[in-house]
Amino acid sequence: MHPTEKKINRLFIYWLFLSLILVFLIIIVGGLTRLTNSGLSITEWELFKGILPPLNNLSWQNYFDEYKKIPQYKILNSDMTLNEFKVIFYWEYFHRILARLIGLFFLIPLIFFYLTKQIKNEYIKICYLVFILIVLQGVLGWYMVISGLTNDITVSHYRLSIHLVNAILIISTLFWLIKNFVSKKNKIFFNISFENLPFQILILLIFFQVIMGAFVSGLDAGKIYQTWPLMGNRYLPNDFNFENFTSIFEFNNHSLVQFYHRNLAYLIIIYVSVLTIIIFKRKISKLYKPLKILLFFLLLQVILGIYTLISGLNIYLASMHQITSVLLIFSALNLYFLRVK
């Protein structure tokens, strides 16, 4: 390999790692923005004007006056002071600034690497896809925010889940690309085969669980039934009727959403347990270490989920619960990567 090509490759992998870290950071900040109910504090999508925060009292008052027009202020925060508003404003402001930074940090080096012609075309194409997803993430973010500006005191949990899933797609694609580039492979994620299917199902189950987690968060469904293992004193929520078949699809129901989130976790535990037995029974030794990592993060995620609930939604535990969900996805992707041909 020519020294110049070697240098470009090193820069490329550093860039991918830093991009992944930035996306991981914005997922954390986005989660905290949601947990602190800060996401609606800025009521306009100011792509350029909003780069600088308010610099004087008049500007602060203007932002605060705009916030006072939405239902969240009128119903929940009518006694909020300007200083209290500044706290939630800065959470959303930092979230948006970080989003802009990620967009620029990804686009400018991508153009550079494309022009050098030193990086394989298949890797550059995936980077283009990631950038499109990053742009889409900004659009989805605003689409989510506007759902809470007129009739509701919070954003739509459906739009929140789409926003989160797209972020998970971005960071998962980056993770897979990094694994391919470092190992000098070109493994295809959607490589359907009997051997790969169990690992793909696992990743799909975790993605569904992320969606259900977003529903729980968006509906504040964790504020009810803060007991475990039972929901109150029953396995089934006592305020929901399962007799009507169509009722099982009522994803606006707080009790049902929490019930699904709990039981999907149980299903994943059972599924991973069976997968573990199969791997050890077939003596697939190359998967032992990544499997142990997966088991560790799965156990940690379950413990955090339980304690988040019974603690009354402690913000630090809730944030750790979300962070661990990303690490769990990484561990599942890593396991699958080592399995796929």
297/324 Cα distance (integer angstroms):
7
Handedness of CA 270, 287, 336, 306 (dihedral sign): positive
12/118 Cα distance (integer angstroms):
10
* Confidence band, pLDDT 50/70/90 cuts, at residue 152: confident
Q: Is the pLDDT reported for residue 141 higher than 90?
A: yes
**pLDDT, position 194:** 86
pLDDT over 70 percentage in the chain: 97
Residue among 132, 184, 131 nearest 13 (CA): 184
pLDDT over 90 percentage in the chain: 77
Q: Phi and psi (nearest 5°) for 234?
A: -135, 160
- For 54-105, write each residue's pLDDT tens digit: 999 999 999 999 999 999 999 988 999 999 999 999 999 999 999 999 999 9
**pLDDT, position 193:** 84
* Confidence band, pLDDT 50/70/90 cuts, at residue 3: low
32/315 Cα distance (integer angstroms):
8
Residue among 320, 181, 325, 332 nearest 271 (CA): 332
* Confidence band, pLDDT 50/70/90 cuts, at residue 243: low
Q: Is the pLDDT reported for residue 1 higher than 60?
A: no
DSSP string over 6-24: HHHHHHHHHHHHHHHHHHH
Return mean pLDDT, the chain.
Answer: 92
Q: Is the pLDDT reported for residue 236 higher than 90?
A: no
- Where b means 16+ CB within 10 Å and e means fewer, 9-20 reads bebbeebbeebb
207/169 Cα distance (integer angstroms):
9
Give residue 218's Cα distance to chain centre.
Answer: 13
**pLDDT, position 198:** 94
What tokens does 161 get? Answer: 């889940």
332/201 Cα distance (integer angstroms):
10
